[in-house]
Structure 1
Amino acid sequence: MADDELQSLTHDIAAHGQREPATVWTDADDVTWLLDGRHRAQAVERLGSNLRTTRFDGTEEEARALVMSLNVHRRHLSPSQRALAAGALATRQRGGISGLAAGVPIAPTQAEAARSAGVSERLVRDGSVVMASGDEAIIRAVANGEMSVTAAAANVRAERTDRQAAAALFFTHRRSSSSDSWLTPPWVLERAAACMGRIDGDVAAAPEGNVPARWSLTAEDDALAQASWANPDGSPSRLWVNPPYGVGGRGPGDWTRRVVDEWETGSIEAALLLLPARPGAHWQQALAQFPRLEFRGHLTFEPGMGNPARERWDAGTRSEAPFASILVGVGVDASRLHAHFGDVGVVFVAYSPTEAIRPTLPEGASLLVERAPDLD
């Protein structure tokens, strides 16, 4: 859970109390484990309150099955996220003497964990490598869907390919104070300006001012603290938004929510948001109502001023980002996204069974909808 979500949960518990108890279980060594409700526990700890719990009575195997059911199968997790969860189970050391004496393995094998999570054993091995590394930044990146478990495991292993080494460099930069200084490729900006007709503002501007915008807000201006993102004359703006992706895996949720709020109130006429592709992230699902373009391949971002990668860039070492990117059009029709970016990616629009969504398509284009078979 992102920090802002945890803060909202804390405020809700402070105002209304803890609505749902957390679930705990005690093993054969009399160690109590929290099976469900980690964020509720963090929230009440912030409040200085006692966690309200309910006890699960069952075997170790049943407790593991409950954890997998609550945290994997009932959430829309990617294979990498499920593999990380399975790897966490398979990595946990086996229990104390009492458990081993009874011949009961406390931790499942990687094959058992793979079956329970519905992923391959190879992915679980990668998940175990990531969990065993203890690198919180990489673990959170996989958990938040910003990096595949395979790339993360390769990052941890000693021998890396050039692409995997680029992933290691990416995380090194993210830990630095200048880690968010990555400039949008110029060709993307040219197409973005043509797609929207113009770019009025850049609310997450780099010091280089590489975006062809009429006005900009840098980190010193603190865009999120500004009262409005409308144009200086009060007219609705057309924005380019390539926000900081967040150190520690938090993600750009604050920025995406602000864009939607400004658009709903009429301060923004249109906005294009360049974001990492993280299907399971709460902020990406909140943008599902808007058309998005998924780029083919990975973009190459130029390191900005003060970025430790700048020296490598100037020396000619220019690697692709270790993650896929999407372009979300808030107030931008799907047809315009397709017209200006259709040759470098695929445009997707949300479908609702209760509401016909008929995006405007380019002349001569057709919409292909595959109907899933009816289920009993």
Structure 2
Amino acid sequence: MTSPFPIHPFAGLLPALPDNELNELVADIQAFGQREAATIWTDEDDVTWLLDGRHRARAVQQIGRELRTTHFEGTEDEARSLVISLNLHRRHLNPSARALAAAALATRHRGGVSGQPAGLPVAPTQAEAARMADVSERLVRDASAVMKTGDDEIIRAVANGDISVTAAAATIRRSRSDRQAATALFLSHRRSSSSDSWLTPQWVIERAVACLGRIDGDVAAAPENNVPATWSLTEEDDALTAATWANPDGSPSRLWVNPPYNAGGRGPQDWTRRVVAEWEARSVEAALLLLPARPGARWQQELARFPRLEFRGHLTFEPGVGNPARERWVSGNRSEAPFASLLIGVGIAPDHLHKHFGDAGVVYVAHRQDSMDSS
């Protein structure tokens, strides 16, 4: 599903509608029209984003109608506050998400500051916002600490219910910096999910097949084997100890690699290095690696020579069998991941990666000094 405007990350701060509620929205718009305009906003680079109304955009696209919009004038901080406040009473949110919305409302400039954009009412106090959101003032104070980090991953994780607002605020207050707090929260979340199976979204797999031409091997296969590979290695097969990742007949393979993200605290380091080694040894012809975006990680820096796609927004991974989140998924509560994702193309040309995934994100290639010297 596409939108006539790129969807701003702020629009994904709160959980996505489950499929059953999205279908109800489609039916309502088809019967009665789009009751509420979506909100667009233009940033300092003159890019116009869809700020609020991503589900309305999907709904009208499904039934072939034009999206009705209204333009919001305000700063980036005000845009973030608007997104959360608009969702405060629209959805059945968990207490942590309601506390975030209340904190956003209470941090607006009070007293009708000159130049405040239209549509932003005078801010309530934290106590008033807490009553509006039906949460305690203490939770709003915790949520305010989370909002002040300015880190969308922390905010998203709290809004989705992956981390409680109380636990997030406690980590932030114990840390010496917001970035340290963000790292601590991510590591905590990663450890809590270390034994869980998370399946790659089907639309990503379908495009991966088209990009690679075929998938010979899936070396980090889930028990469900949801990737259409000729052969696969699961956790029980211990792919990292296999002698080679070439095809059984010895020919170079084309691989899909979505490795476990915990790996003893090192991230996917062992997996990424093994893929590169196999490619350099010509046992692997090409590989697509789906990884969490971690710019400071050594393993990601080691992959810089290969083209990478940075997905717009956050992917929605399906919990596999045995995952504690499976029951919530089946009931229709389907949250996006609290981190951004990358797709690395080993042995794949940037133009080819862009051809198959360009509308889902942005393809980047590393700067090469020799190309500048010869120009």
Q: Which TM-score applies when normalising by structure 2?
A: 0.51
Cα distance change of structure 1 residues 328 and 176 upon mapping to structure 2, 3 Å threshold: closer
SS at match of 2:354: helix
Q: Which of residues 316, 330, 349 is equivalent to 1:300?
A: 316
Contact 1:262 1:268 in 2 (8 A): yes
Q: CA deviation at 1:305?
A: 1.2
Deviation for aligned residue 1:352: 1.6
Distance 1:231 1:148, change over 3 A: same
- Which residue number in structure 1 is paired with residue 166 of structure 2? 158
- C-alpha contact (below 8 Å) 2:157/2:338 kept by paired residues: no
- Alpha carbon RMSD of aligned pairs, Å? 3.3
Q: List alignment gaps of at least 5 residues for structure 1.
A: 1-124, 130-141, 161-166, 359-376
The residue aligned with 1:309 is: 325
Q: Give the direction of change, closer, same or farther, for the CA distance of 1:305–1:269 in structure 2 (3 Å limit).
A: same
Structure 1 residues 175 and 247 mapped into 2: Cα distance closer, same or farther (>3 Å)? farther
Structure 1 residue 309: Cα displacement:
0.4
Q: Distance in 1 between matches of 2:283 and 2:167?
A: 50
Residue in structure 2 matched with residue 183 of structure 1 by the alignment: 199
Moved over 2 A (4+): 125-129, 147-160, 167-179, 247-250, 354-358
Please state if 1:220 is matched with 2:236.
yes
CA offset at residue 178 of structure 1? 2.4
Contact 1:293/1:327 (8 A) holds in 2: yes
Q: Measured at CA, do residues 357 and 195 of structure 1 come closer, stay the same or move farther in structure 2, by a change above 3 Å? A: farther
- Aligned partner of 1:252 in structure 2 is 268
Q: Within 5 A, what are the aligned runs for 1:110-121?
A: none
Q: Which runs of structure 2 are paired with 1:130-279 in the superposition (5 Å)?
A: 148=153, 155=163, 157-158=165-166, 174-175=191-192, 178-179=195-196, 181-246=197-262, 249-279=265-295
The C-alpha deviation readout for 1:264-309, integer Å capped at 9, x for no partner, is 0000000000000111110000000000000000000000111100
In the alignment, which residue of structure 1 is the partner of 2:355?
Answer: 339
AA at the equivalent of 2:295: P
Alpha-carbon separation, structure 2, partners of 1:170 and 1:293: 23
1:234 aligned partner, one-letter code:
G
The equivalent of 1:280 in structure 2 is 296
Whole-Å separation in 1 of the counterparts to 2:365 and 2:147: 32
Paired residues, what number?
212
Question: How far, CA to CA, are the matches of 1:170 and 1:349 in structure 2?
Answer: 28
Task: Check the 8 A contact 2:288/2:344 in 1, yes or no.
Answer: yes
CA contact (8 A) 1:173 1:307 kept: no
Q: Is the partner of 1:294 in helix, strand or coil?
A: strand
Q: Percent identity?
A: 68
- Which deviations, in whole Å up to 9, do the C-alpha atoms of 1:122-161 show, x marking residues without a partner? xxx66999xxxxxxxxxxxx9xxxx84666788463399x
Secondary structure of 2:286's partner? strand
Instruction: Output the CA distance in 1 between the equivalents of 2:288 and 2:246.
Output: 15
Gaps of 5+ in 2: 1-144, 169-183
The answer as to whether partners of 1:204 and 1:217 remain within 8 angstroms in 2 is yes
Measure, in 2, the Cα distance between the counterparts of 1:196 and 1:207. 22
> Structure 1's 293 and 216: CA in aligned 2 closer, same or farther, altered over 3 A?
same
Q: Which residue of 2 aligns with 1:290?
A: 306
Distance in 2 of aligned mates of 1:197 and 1:278: 28
Shift of 1:171: 5.3
- Residue 168 of structure 1, CA deviation: 8.5
Tell me the distance in 2 between the aligned counterparts of 1:224 and 1:288.
22
Q: Secondary structure at the match of 1:328?
A: strand
What pairs with 1:12-23 in structure 2 (closer than 5 Å)? Answer: none
TM-score after normalising by structure 1: 0.51
Taking structure 1 as reference, are residues 228 and 338 closer, same or farther at Cα in structure 2, changes over 3 Å only? same
- Structure 2 vs 1, CA of residues 335 and 283 (structure 1 numbering), >3 Å: closer, same or farther? same
Matching residue's letter, 2:331: A
Which residue matches 2:64? none
**Within 2, Cα distance between the matches of 1:352 and 1:183?**
35
Rounded to whole Å, the distance in 2 between the matches of 1:217 and 1:241 is 11
- The one-letter code sitting in structure 2 at the alignment partner of 1:327 is L
CA distance in 1, matches of 2:194, 2:295: 27
Give 1:172 shift.
5.7
CA distance in 1, matches of 2:373, 2:240: 32
Alpha-carbon distance, 1:353 to partner: 1.8
- What letter corresponds to residue 283 of structure 1 in structure 2? W
Cα pair 2:222 2:234 within 8 Å, conserved: yes
Secondary structure (helix, strand or coil) at the match of 1:274 reads strand
1:246–1:252 Cα contact (<8 Å) kept: yes
Equivalent-residue separation in structure 1 for 2:194 and 2:291 (angstroms): 20
